[in-house]
Amino acid sequence: MGQLLNALLRRTVCDMCTERIRRPEGYLLTTRQVVTNPEYWEFMFANSWASVLASENAPEMKYTLAERQASQSTPWLICSSCADRLHSATPQARTDAERWWNEGRRFAPQGSGPVSVEEVRQARPPETVLQSGLPMPNKIFLIGAKFEPGQDDFFLAAEGLVGLHPPLTMEHLHRVFIKVSSTSTDEVSALTQAVDEVRRESPRAWLVDSLCLNRRTGRDLAIVAMWSGEAVGLARERLPKGTPGGG
């Protein structure tokens, strides 16, 4: 019985679909190769995490998943079907997998390790976004005045942000993961301070923000869209009313 249990515990499965992978099969990828690929997220949200999209807390849960997956320090072993799904069934990924097996599962390819959550891409940009010349933001912050905003609050705040900052559209915001938080008081000044804190903690980024009131609930909230990395240049050009991070 002990030998059988040990064998089951040592069973190797695909890090995407959990199908069994036998030595020396599989493809070895880095965390960056996986979490920056929208195909990975589309598959997971259609399968293992399908319930997330139906949840009232979907924005917060998607962000939590993005943080968790981006923090993976070890390489990902995936089956041939999932490698094809990610368009990552390369000879190098096969060679790395064989070396991983041969070296007692301790080998890590170049570029392995956790990545910044801002690098995560949970969706492909729609055609309308590509045509606008403005890339999708890397992250959205949704802040409630002493409450945790939900999906209805997000749509309300997003519409206000879009109205203030053309050519930003709802299509830019729908597929971006969101960090949800709340202030300790329901004062508008607390929201302003929270937005300023986001700005200070985002050096070299470009941000646009908006405060709004949910007239149905009578609660105030703020939304901040942030562009970082290579997207900053285009965001600065297309959204001149935005502000730089840091400071």
For residues 44 and 96, state if they share a domain: yes
Residue from 223, 224, 132 nearest 171 by CA: 132
For residues 131 and 147, state if they share a domain: yes
Per the structure, the complete domain to which residue 213 belongs is given by 127-244
- Structurally, the chain folds into a number of domains equal to 2
Q: Which residue has the tokens 């976004």?
A: 129
pTM for the model: 0.74
For residue range 88-108, what is the model confidence (pLDDT) as tens digits? 999 999 999 999 999 999 999
Q: Which two tokens mark 40?
A: 């990975």
Strand partners, 141: 179, 224
CA distance 133 to 23: 46
For residue range 125-169, what is the model confidence (pLDDT) as tens digits? 888 898 999 999 989 999 999 999 988 899 999 999 999 999 999
Which of 36-50, 56-70, 192-206 is least confident?
56-70
For residues 213 and 104, state if they share a domain: no
For residues 148 and 225, state if they share a domain: yes
Last residue in a domain, options 119, 148, 166: 119
For residues 68 and 151, state if they share a domain: no
Strand partners, 45: none
